């Protein structure tokens, strides 16, 4: 998880997402750095709009809560919300693998 946090910190500081920058950030935090994990992180984030991914990740829990609050006569609305979640989750496949 600390690898993802390092990437988020670099993003917030508007620094380039490179292996060297992530390694330096992790070392500064006292983390014993695994170079292969850093390399995998950089490769996974290539082409990912981190700001957009973070915005969608924050919105996803709210979307998931909506079907739970739906009334009993709204199964179609719940099914539609589930389909939307599946569509939105498609962009997180690479990013989601970082948490596994």
CA distance 100 to 82: 22
Nearest-angstrom CA–CA distance, 95 and 6:
14
- The count of C-alpha atoms lying within 13 angstroms of the C-alpha of 47, restricted to the half-sphere facing its C-beta, is 6
What pTM value is reported for the model? 0.56
Average pLDDT, the chain: 76
pLDDT category at 68 given cuts 50, 70, 90 is low
Which residue has better confidence, 45 or 61? 45
Per-residue model confidence as pLDDT tens digits over 3-17:
999 999 999 999 999
Q: Is the pLDDT of residue 92 over 50?
A: no
CB 76 within 8 A of CB 51: no
Do 23 and 36 meet the contact criterion of CB atoms below 8 Å apart? Answer: no
Which token pair is 23?
A: 């390694």
Q: Which residue has the higher pLDDT, 81 or 54?
A: 54
């Amino acid at each position: 998880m600390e690898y993802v946090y390092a990437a988020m910190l670099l993003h917030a500081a508007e620094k380039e997402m490179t292996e060297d920058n992530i390694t330096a950030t992790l070392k500064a935090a006292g983390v014993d750095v695994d170079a292969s994990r850093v390399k995998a992180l950089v490769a996974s984030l290539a082409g990912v709009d981190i700001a957009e991914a973070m915005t969608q990740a924050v919105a996803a829990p709210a979307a998931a809560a909506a079907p739970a609050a739906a009334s009993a006569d709204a199964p179609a609305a719940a099914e539609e919300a589930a389909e939307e979640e599946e569509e939105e989750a498609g962009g997180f496949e690479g990013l989601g693998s970082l948490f596994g």
